[in-house]
Amino acid sequence: MTGALALTVPNALSLAGTAAVLIGNELQVRHVEEPYLMGIHGAAYQEYAARTGRFLPLLGRRR
């Protein structure tokens, strides 16, 4: 939604908001969701994360 807003109203505030949402989302996934999934599912999640992407296929795979 923020990306669409930045495309619709391309100004510094909408671009900064889009950047903030993307950074916040990345931090949430890396520091909250992935450790939780690793704790719950262990090696099965590690194998899954090594072959899939975080948000898009093959992009952001865990090593």
Determine the Cα–Cα distance for residues 59 and 26; give it in Å rounded to an integer.
13
Domain map (residue ranges) of the chain: 2-51
Q: What is the pTM of this model?
A: 0.73
Determine the Cα–Cα distance for residues 9 and 4; give it in Å rounded to an integer.
8
Do 55 and 30 meet the contact criterion of CB atoms below 8 Å apart? no
pLDDT tens for 4-60 read 988 999 999 999 999 999 999 999 999 999 999 999 999 999 999 888 888 777 677
